Amino acid sequence: MLDTNFAADVVIMEEGTELLRRLGEGHRPTFTSCCPAWINFAETHYPEILPHLSSTKSPQQVLGILAKTWLPEKMNLDASRIRVISLMPCTAKKDEAVRAQLRHGEVPEIDVVLTVREFVRLLRREGVDFAAIEPSVFDNPYMSDSSGAGVIFGTTGGVMEAAVRTMYHAINGTELEPVELQALRGFDGVRSATLDLGGAIGTVKVAMAHGLKPTRQIVEAVLAGTADFDFIEIMACPGGCVDGGGTLRSKKAYLPHALKRRETLFGIDRARPRRQSHANPQVQALYRDFLERPYSEKAHYLLHTWYQDRRRVMTRTVQDIWNDITMSTKVY
Ligand code: SF4
């Protein structure tokens, strides 16, 4: 049993380094890339925005590739016998797992994706009473520990907050105080804040959007040149992954339900002994023993990806479609 929150910490190491690099090269804004529904949306509706996307893979894919490269090396396992079954709050992760560019040679990084709802059905079918199971710790010593930053990755604004904690440390060599960034924690569809990262970077402007309507709003503002941001976090599901499309959700009391789950994540973060991704000892070991450093050549090869323009070309005119409709409903 591995923990995707460990991979979220690794994503923060890569994405935080990438964001600072791109900023240093004058590229702004940079969008986060951890949400596959957002990636699909950008590729099919706004391909002009693709050069602004971070190339860092999502936590699911980072976990998959490391489970098939780093883990067998560490545990002396036969890599060809490893299958990764991903348990996710997200239906878009199924589609992500079969993307052609997310394979390691001929081998998919992730073999099977089960949503939380599917997992619950499986447990019921097998007669497992989840509530009666004794909680226990993860049994893997290499890919199971996570920081508070990795945990809040699952809520809107959490990726930005986790990245800022690590970017601040990379720039200044000290930890951000206070560690919680209340300025990023609202729940409006689009939110923005100005933060001082210190050092040579100084002040940055960040924004967060959750849900596709707010996402469309911010993307169109960037394309029109009316948005002035350095980093933008996007999550396709309102509330973020913690209330993702593959979870058990309340349709009647959406907002209180989503906010309650979000508070749970913030509570876990507060209780963690380490609240920054770079402080996670398993992440430190990964870079020391395998990847060398964030954004190294090896890290780039294994943990980064690319996107493509998939906008559907409209070959049929509105008149063609209208003709089809009227023909199919014609009464003779
Ligand atoms: S925000 Fe929703 S679609 Fe995006 S990764 Fe999270 S659960 Fe999946």
Q: Could you write out the DSSP letters of every residue in 109-131?
A: S--EEEEHHHHHHHHHHTT--GG
| Residue corresponding to tokens 């860092």 | 56
Confidence label for 124 from pLDDT (cuts 50, 70 and 90)? very high
Q: What are the helix and strand counts (H, E) for the chain?
A: 13, 8
Q: Is the CB of residue 185 less than 8 Å from the CB of residue 47?
A: no
Q: Nearest residue CA, atom 5 of ligand 1?
A: 35
**Residue 325 scores a pLDDT above 80:** no
Ligand 1 centroid to Cα of residue 69, in Å, is 26
Q: Which of 11, 117, 235, 242 to mutate to test the pocket of ligand 1 (most atoms within 8 A of CB)?
A: 235
For residue 115, give the nearest of 248, 19, 214 by alpha carbon.
Answer: 248
Locate the ligand 1 atom nearest the alpha carbon of residue 210 and give its number.
1
**Residue 331 scores a pLDDT above 70:** no
Locate the ligand 1 atom nearest the alpha carbon of residue 58 and give its number.
5
Average pLDDT of the chain? 93
Between 325 and 57, the higher pLDDT residue: 57
Q: What is the dihedral of CA 166, 170, 174, 180, to 10 degrees?
A: -20
Q: Is the CB of residue 28 less than 8 Å from the CB of residue 230?
A: yes
Counting the structural domains of the chain, the total is 1
Ligand 1 centroid to Cα of residue 253, in Å, is 20
| Residue corresponding to tokens 């990438």 | 18
Q: How far apart (Å, rounded) are the C-alpha atoms in residues 295 and 204?
A: 21
Q: What pLDDT is recorded for position 330? A: 43
Q: Which helix (H) or strand (E) holds 85?
A: strand 85-88
What's the whole-model pTM score?
A: 0.92
For 147-157, write each residue's pLDDT tens digit: 999 999 999 99
Mean pLDDT over 107-119 rounds to 97
Confidence label for 212 from pLDDT (cuts 50, 70 and 90)? very high
Ligand 1 centroid to Cα of residue 319, in Å, is 37
Strand partners, 206: 193, 231
The set of protein residues with a Cβ atom below 6 angstroms from ligand 1 is 35-37, 89-90, 92, 235-237, 240-241, 244-245
| Residue corresponding to tokens 């010593």 | 141
In b/e form, how buried is each residue of 183-193, taking b as 16+ CB within 10 angstroms? bbbeeebbbbb
Mean pLDDT over 98-110 rounds to 95
Lowest pLDDT segment from 28-42, 83-97, 190-204, 313-327: 313-327
Q: Nearest residue CA, atom 4 of ligand 1?
A: 35
CB under 8 Å to 6, separation ≥6 — which residues?
Answer: 63, 143, 144, 145, 146, 150, 280, 282, 283
CB atoms within 10 A of CB 319: 8
Between 2 and 139, the higher pLDDT residue: 2
β-pairing, 190-196 vs 203-210, is antiparallel
Ligand 1 centroid to Cα of residue 74, in Å, is 31
For 46-96, write each residue's pLDDT tens digit: 999 999 999 999 999 999 999 999 999 999 999 999 999 999 999 999 999
Complete DSSP assignment for 12-80: HHHHHHHHHHHHHTT---EE----HHHHHHHHHH-GGGGGGB--BPPHHHHHHHHHTTHHHHHHT--GG
**Residue 227 scores a pLDDT above 80:** yes
Ligand 1 centroid to Cα of residue 199, in Å, is 33
Q: Which of 237, 242, 254 to mutate to test the pocket of ligand 1 (most atoms within 8 A of CB)?
A: 237
Q: Where are the beta strands (DSSP E) in 131-245?
A: 190-196, 203-210, 231-235
Confidence label for 138 from pLDDT (cuts 50, 70 and 90)? confident
Between 233 and 105, the higher pLDDT residue: 233
Ligand 1 centroid to Cα of residue 304, in Å, is 19
For 242-268, write each residue's pLDDT tens digit: 999 999 887 788 888 889 999 999 999
**Residue 332 scores a pLDDT above 60:** no
Q: How far apart (Å, rounded) are the C-alpha atoms in residues 245 and 38?
A: 13
Q: Nearest residue CA, atom 6 of ligand 1?
A: 241
Q: What pLDDT is recorded for position 139? A: 82
Mean pLDDT over 281-290 rounds to 98
Ligand 1 centroid to Cα of residue 42, in Å, is 14
User: What is the Cα gyration radius of the chain?
Assistant: 21
Range of the domain at 160: 4-328
Ligand 1 centroid to Cα of residue 91, in Å, is 8
CA distances from 288 to 6, 61, 222, 293, 299 (A): 16, 21, 38, 7, 12
Percent with pLDDT over 70 in the chain: 94
Q: What pLDDT is recorded for position 10? A: 98
Locate the ligand 1 atom nearest the alpha carbon of residue 243 and give its number.
7
Describe the strand order of the beta sheet including 203-210 as a list of residue ranges: 30-31, 231-235, 203-210, 190-196
Looking at residue 84, which CATH number applies to its domain? Answer: 3.40.950.10
Q: What pLDDT is recorded for position 320? A: 67
CA 257 to chain centre: 21
**Residue 312 scores a pLDDT above 80:** no
